[in-house]
Structure 1
Amino acid sequence: MVAQLDARNTASARLATAVGMRPEAHMRQDWWNKGEWTDTLVFGMPAEDRDAP
């Protein structure tokens, strides 16, 4: 499972962490959005962690 989100979106980062995802990458100024370059955060959760009780 992977989530990519705008690094400024702290609520989404908290949600990803709350459901057990871990930060995997921080890509700097990789997305042109509404007239400015923005950073992307990537969160991930391996399949074996999803199936854990």
Structure 2
Amino acid sequence: MKICSSCNKEVNFDFTEFPCPKCGKTKIIRCDHCKSTTKEYKCEECGFIGP
């Protein structure tokens, strides 16, 4: 089960997954809606906040 890093909803399809741009330790998961609306996400490891 994957959870969107922005809205905390479960995602099954239409999502993006990538390492934190700052620390690279945490996988950031974004649902298609949060990605298209550029909703912020926060890395739980280093605190980086991205668009």
Q: Give the alignment's TM-score, normalised by structure 1.
A: 0.28
Between 1 and 2, higher relative CO (CA 8 Å, sep ≥ 6) is seen in 1
- Specify which structure has the higher proportion of strand: 1
- Specify which structure has the higher proportion of helix: 1
